[in-house]
Amino acid sequence: MSRIAAYLAVVMLLAAAGCASSPETADEGSAEAAVAAAPGGSGTVVPDAIVDANELVARTPPPVICRHMLKQGSNVIIQQCMTEKDWKVYERRQAQEAQSIVRTLQRGAYR
């Protein structure tokens, strides 16, 4: 029972010390000393490694995909290179254009 009481006393002292000091008045030396004094502590403070996933995505350019296709309104084959995102936008626009052509034909004299 005395060992548990000793642990509780240490926890209470650490909590009281933590509440009494504000972040502005706490210095880095006291944090390093607390880590060094802790049992099993190596004496070094390792900062948190924070990596922003958006930065990693922004650094690496998206891969470019090239396709051979007919130039619109001619009989010439061209090579078109775009990113995957741009190809999706292109295909969506092509589908919308095809739908508008079908609607025009359905409304016109060809009915």
pLDDT tens digits, 41-65: 556 666 677 777 777 666 678 889 9
**Is 34 part of a structural domain of the chain?**
yes
| Residues 79, 1: Cα–Cα separation, whole Å | 81
**Is 17 part of a structural domain of the chain?**
yes
Section 9-36 average pLDDT = 58
* Per-residue pLDDT reduced to its tens digit, 59-101: 678 889 999 999 988 999 999 999 999 999 999 999 999 999 9
Question: What pTM was estimated for this model as a whole?
Answer: 0.43
Token output for 1: 């029972």
**Is 53 part of a structural domain of the chain?**
no
Q: In this structure, are 68 and 101 located in the same domain?
A: yes
Q: In this structure, are 69 and 94 located in the same domain?
A: yes
Can you point out the beta strands (E) in the chain? Answer: 64-70, 77-83
R_g (Cα) of the chain, nearest Å: 34
Q: How does strand 64-70 pair with strand 77-83?
A: antiparallel
Q: How many domains does the chain have?
A: 2
CA separation (Å) from 48 to 45, 51, 81, 98?
10, 10, 41, 53
Structural domain range at position 29 = 2-47
pLDDT at 27 over 70: no
